[in-house]
């Protein structure tokens, strides 16, 4: 592969590949499993006998999540400084956001859950080499599913680290090794590199 390990390269005929060592595979799997736990089951749970029609017509929540990480994954559709600048009534904005969330959040959760499951399944299907590492090849819809999950992971970790501005991000990246946030910062940076190089292969 023509690029350093841990970064995606394009595959002939379409798709992307990345060399991952045993530790990277384990970290990725652990992070995505935690993401799945955070997102939670779909409407009616994940029971095999759940009524698919009931899930299809189930309404979502109307209030934003209290967990900051979930609030990043499922933000309000309306509001923010631009809406305030336009003089829109805050009560009207809240009502719009509630209605939008009610009819879209369940589908969004389902998509994020399916993306994360696809990542776990592709990691589980890897055939380790002698050193425990492997080359992951993504074709078909998998590159986009991986992009979705890598973005969700970075949003989640960013929320845990309270990263809100580029200047604040740079300060976190210079943390000393003994800072307890350092492992999360390193994961955030590494996932960003994976995301960026995967985007490059699809450009």
Can you read off the two tokens belonging to residue 160?
A: 């845990």
Q: Which residue has the higher pLDDT, 134 or 175?
A: 134
- Determine the pLDDT at residue 85: 47
Q: What are the tens digits of pLDDT across the range 24-48?
A: 999 999 999 999 999 988 655 555 5
Which pLDDT value is given to residue 63?
84
pLDDT tens by residue, 157-202: 999 988 876 656 677 778 888 999 899 999 999 999 999 999 999 8
């Amino acid at each position: 592969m023509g690029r350093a390990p841990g970064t995606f390269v394009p595959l002939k005929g379409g798709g992307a590949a990345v060399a991952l060592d045993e530790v990277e595979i384990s970290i990725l799997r652990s992070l995505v499993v935690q993401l799945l736990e955070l997102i939670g089951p779909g409407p009616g749970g994940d029971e095999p006998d759940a009524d698919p029609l009931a899930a299809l017509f189930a309404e979502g929540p109307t209030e934003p999540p209290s967990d900051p990480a979930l609030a990043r994954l499922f933000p309000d559709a309306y509001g923010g400084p631009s809406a305030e600048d336009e003089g829109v009534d805050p009560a009207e904005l809240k009502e719009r956001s509630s209605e939008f969330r009610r009819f879209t959040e369940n589908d969004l959760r389902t998509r994020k859950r399916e993306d994360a499951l696809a990542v776990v399944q592709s990691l589980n299907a890897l055939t380790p080499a002698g050193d425990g590492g492997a080359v992951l090849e993504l074709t078909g819809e998998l590159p986009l599913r991986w992009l979705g999950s890598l973005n969700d992971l970075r949003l989640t970790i960013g929320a845990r680290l309270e990263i809100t501005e580029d200047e604040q991000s740079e300060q976190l990246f210079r943390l000393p090794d003994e800072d307890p946030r350092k492992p999360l910062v390193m994961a955030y940076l590494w996932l960003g590199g994976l995301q960026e190089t995967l985007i490059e292969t699809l450009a």
